[in-house]
Structure 1
Amino acid sequence: MQRTALLPAQRRKGPQGATGAPPRRPPRPRPVRGRPRWGRRLGIALLALLVAAAGFAVYVDGTLARVPALPSNSEASSEGTNWLIVGSDSRANLTAEQRKEYATGDPESELTDTIMLLHTGSGPTTLVSIPRDSIVDIPGKGRHKINSAYARGGGAEGGGPELLVRTVENATGLRIDHYVEIGFLGIVSVVDAVGGVEMCVPEAIKDPKAALDIEAGCQTLDEATALGYVRTRATASSDFGRVERQRAFISALLDKATSPGTLFNPFRIVPLATGLSGSIAVDGGTHVWHLAQLGLAMRGLSDGVSTTVPVRDGAVNWDRTRAKALFDALAADERPPENALGP
């Protein structure tokens, strides 16, 4: 049988004569692009920053110099938290050029010419300066000036910090919870890292022994001027004036160091953290986050109490009645009475 070829139009006709070509598919809808997930990206960035900050804090904490300072058999007891902040006049870490520039003298000295006690708790933050010439009982050494306890205990390499803590605990009745020691180089490093410290100087001071020549008025102190400012006694108020300047300077310095302009500026916070970690010594239980708490507590001094141990004859012998009232109030975590404030 002969097959007849079908024309193209005759192929695959449907029931109504339509061709068998498949129907056209409707166009696919274009995928709707979601909005950029800025919240998620920001969260990831913040998480990365927090991880980096935590890692840096752990690194800095590992570089802190730690010394045995807190007596394991201490019998002192008190409420709140007490910091012993010590400024050592050790020149061991200064070069000959730095000792000449800052007029610090020979490197053999190991006295603690700055001794301050910071109390924090439910009461007001209280900063107490202990005059360096205070005559007190130094355990096992007799009665001497309190600033010699550090050296009599063996200095930084011996038991100096622990003997000083014992001496302060015995004299005040307060338990010391944290110990921080900073030397000349530490002050220089910190002031340089924060870009200077703003202070209002009440009077002009010229003291070649401290390499200081400063005018009265509000100004920014660089590292050399700041060091001379906290060291000098070339004023009519001598030691009492110096401890007042030291408290004001420490408060201004920590206020600058814990300001947003420093904490969120990597060009400030990194040199500050690394310079500080190489210039201070702390007890074995104090970490970098405790130091952050210290800085924040010092910022609260504007609403707190800043004073000196009351004395009865210059800066040598304490007024026992007023001093006891001061330290009893701190032991109970209360505001010290006005008549207990020194000098």
Structure 2
Amino acid sequence: MNDDNGGRNRPDGPHGGFHRERSQPVPPDGRRSPRSGRITVPSRTVRRRRSGLILMACLSVLVLLASGTSWAITGWMSGTLNRFDVFGDLADGDRPEETGGLTFLVIGSDSRESITEEDRTALSVGSTPGRRSDTMMLVRVNHERDRVTVVGLPRDLWVEIPGEGDDKINAAYAYGGPQLAVRTVESVTDVRIDHYVEVDFSGFVDVVDALGGIDVCLPEAIRDPKAKLDMAAGTHRVDGAEALAFARTRATPRGDLDRIDRQQQVLSAMLDQALSSETLADPAKLTAFLESALSSVTVDEGLDTATINQLAYQMRDVDLTEVTFTQVPIADMDFWTPRGDVALLWDEPAARELFADINADRPITDPSDTASEEEKEGEPRPEDIRVRVFNGTGTPGLGATLDTALTGSGFRVPDPASDWSSRDVSSTQVRHGADDAAAAGYLAGLIPNSEAVEDTTLDGELQVVIGFDYTTFQAPEVEAPEPEEAPSAGDAPLTTSTARDNICG
């Protein structure tokens, strides 16, 4: 990098192979018109339709690619990125096969070497020497380029690092830089890595600040004196330094796994903020944003201008609901390593199934979502049915008795029973709206001799009108739940969310 980049030059790594060179093209203001010679920027509508380059929204670059909508801008942007020969020394025969999709390894480096002592103190990142991958994510773009899956890899995952033995997965970067990080991830996941993206602490802060801050939300308060983070439960507007502390702290019950959840929330918020703000609509702001945000981003040599533009076009219609976040299922969060420290062990069968789905471009689904769908398609449940009781016979106390029976069986009975408009109703009716026929049929089956009757004035509530043929209410049988095996304290099952789910509010 140039010497005027705020002290962020990257020194050579431990193996002398971390020298990144980049050209310095002049940033354009937009696309040059062939008729007038003026430089313009594509319309806001066109830019937002091309919001699909969520790909590197996984860290700063995905947000940046979302704005790369013209050859002029992406050409300058591509030249601004730092580049490194990540795949040159990898033997193709030893790597996983290509499957048609496109997979990025996105790494957040915890190197402090390019950060001044003043900035280290301000960011509360300490002064630990060396380079490690503070964050690791697999970003998979499917073959059709209409869906993105982001898989978080916990930094303390205990794996075998090729040539180095067993260690935490983030040590691969410290041992051999990007190349060994790629080899390690490929060997343990059997997923081929096509591109590499890296951003360091200062780059992350620059991205968030260039966006004008982001919104994050907390279900519970977090207090981490080491990270200088003290946030109450609720929604907060944070700047780059605060977002970094929020994304890095492990001062919560599930430690590294909670941190991955927060990082996914931050990345979703970054993308949402970039696409909803005025950043992309103002050429000057766009140029300033790209200049500040790209200064600390490193990519592989294959991620060139043509590749960026091709992906931007292919993924122009992808939106936040088609970006799925998950993390590797964990079996043990308190695994004591042979050297005496604590690491994470993943759930081997579940992890293999997850990565097989990634390779096959199958959507990643949360098992609990499947269960919910099965419940929706099955028999109605009392707790989902709202009922009001009317007495059509004049017999005192009959309505109150049925009210009590329904409530005791789990039905929602918000109002006490009352008299019907007449007291000569012969047959008991379960009245319902057009969308509640199944619930009415279920309830009518619990009241002998009753019949379900559609009433178009009703919506979301059933009415039971007691007639002279009413005899009793048969409470539904409640099946005892099958005993479940108690999960261990470290179990972390597969869960998923979309980028839209992760946005506060």
Secondary structure in structure 1 of the residue aligned to 2:125: coil
Contact 1:83 1:180 in 2 (8 A): yes
Amino acid paired to 1:151: A
Structure 2 residue 297 is matched with structure 1 residue 274: no
Residues 153-192 of structure 1 show CA distances to partners (whole Å, capped at 9, x for unaligned) of: 1xxxxxx101000100111111111111011001111111
1:91-149, CA deviations, whole angstroms, 9 ceiling, x for partnerless residues?
12211111111111115231112101111114742111001111111111111110000
Q: Give the equivalent residue in structure 1 for 2:81.
A: 64
Between 1:227-236 and 1:282-291, the stretch displaced more is 282-291
1: CA distance, partners of 2:220 / 2:100:
38
State how far apart, in whole Å, the 2-side matches of 1:288 and 1:215 are. Answer: 43
Change (3 A) 1:290 1:85: farther
How many Å apart are 1:246 and its aligned residue?
0.5
| Aligned pairs (5 A) from 1:68-107 | 68-70=85-87, 72-74=90-92, 75-77=95-97, 78-106=99-127
Q: Spell out the pairing of 1:43-192 with structure 2 (5 A cutoff).
A: 48-50=39-41, 54-70=71-87, 72-74=90-92, 75-77=95-97, 78-106=99-127, 108-121=129-142, 122=144, 124-153=147-176, 160-192=177-209
Task: Label 1:342 to 1:207 Cα distance change in 2 as closer, same or farther (>3 A).
Answer: same
Name the SS for the 1:174 alignment partner. Answer: coil
Instruction: Work out the CA distance in 2 between the residues paired with 1:224 and 1:151.
Output: 24
TM-score by length of 2: 0.54
Distance 1:218 1:267, change over 3 A: farther
Q: Cα distance 1:306–1:60, how it changes in 2: closer, same or farther (>3 A)?
A: closer
1:285-296 to 2 correspondences below 5 Å: 285-287=302-304, 293=311
TM superposition shift of 1:337: 4.9
Of 285, 309, 326, the residue aligned with 2:328 is 309
Matched, 1:212 2:229: yes
Deviation at 1:204, TM superposition (A): 1.9
Q: Which has the larger radius of gyration?
A: 1
How far did 1:338 drift?
3.4
Q: 1:300 to 1:117 in 2, by over 3 A?
A: farther
d(CA) in 1 for partners of 2:317, 2:192? 19
| Structure 1 position 220, deviation (Å) | 1.6
The match for 2:366 is 338
Change (3 A) 1:193 1:321: same
1:8 matched residue in structure 2? none
In the superposition, relative to structure 1, how do residues 336 and 59 fare at CA in structure 2: closer, same or farther (>3 Å)? closer
SS, match of residue 131 in structure 2: coil
Instruction: State the secondary structure of the residue aligned to 2:230.
Output: strand
**Aligned CA-pair RMSD:** 2.8
| SS of structure 1 residue aligned to 2:160 | strand
Residues 79/93 of structure 1: CA separation in 2 closer, same or farther (3 Å cut): same
C-alpha distance after superposition, 1:190-233 (max 9, x if no partner): 11111001222322212121121222222321111101001101
Q: Which runs of 5+ in 2 are unaligned?
A: 1-32, 43-68, 334-342, 368-492, 497-505
The aligned amino acid for 1:282 is: V
**Aligned partner of residue 234 in structure 1, secondary structure:** coil
Tell which has more relative contact order, 1 or 2 (C-alpha 8 A, sep 6+).
Answer: 1
Secondary structure in 2 matching 1:256: helix
**Mapped contact 1:309–1:342 kept (Cα < 8 A):** no
Structure 1 residues 275 and 49: CA distance shift in structure 2, 3 A: same
The CA deviation string for residues 49-103 of structure 1, in whole angstroms up to 9 with x for no partner, is 1599643432232121111223542321233111111011111221111111111
Cα distance change of structure 1 residues 45 and 260 upon mapping to structure 2, 3 Å threshold: farther
* Distance of 2:234 and 2:37 partners within structure 1: 42
Q: Share of identical aligned residues, percent?
A: 39
Would you say the 8 A contact 2:74–2:308 is kept in 1?
no
Q: Please identify, of 123-132 and 48-57, the stretch whose mean Cα deviation from structure 2 is larger.
A: 48-57
Of 351, 357, 362, the residue aligned with 1:329 is 357
Counterpart residue type for residue 320 of structure 1: E
The answer as to whether partners of 2:152 and 2:326 remain within 8 angstroms in 1 is yes
User: The residue matched to 2:362 in structure 1 has which SS?
Assistant: coil
Structure 2 CA distance for aligned equivalents of residues 288 and 226 of structure 1: 30
1:252 aligns with 2:269: yes
Partners in 1 of 2:326 and 2:269 — Cα distance? 16
Going from structure 1 to structure 2, the CA distance change for 1:298 and 1:186 (only over 3 Å counts) comes to farther
* Deviation for aligned residue 1:270: 1.6
CA spacing shift, 1:46–1:177, aligned 2, 3 Å: farther
Give the unaligned 5+ runs of structure 1: 1-41, 154-159
State the Cα deviation string for residues 24-71 of structure 1 (Å, max 9, x = none). Answer: xxxxxxxxxxxxxxxxxx995797315996434322321211112235
Aligned residue pairs, count? 295
CA–CA distance in structure 2, aligned partners of residues 107 and 207 of structure 1: 18
SS of the residue corresponding to residue 188 of structure 1 reads helix
Residue identity opposite 1:307 in structure 2: T
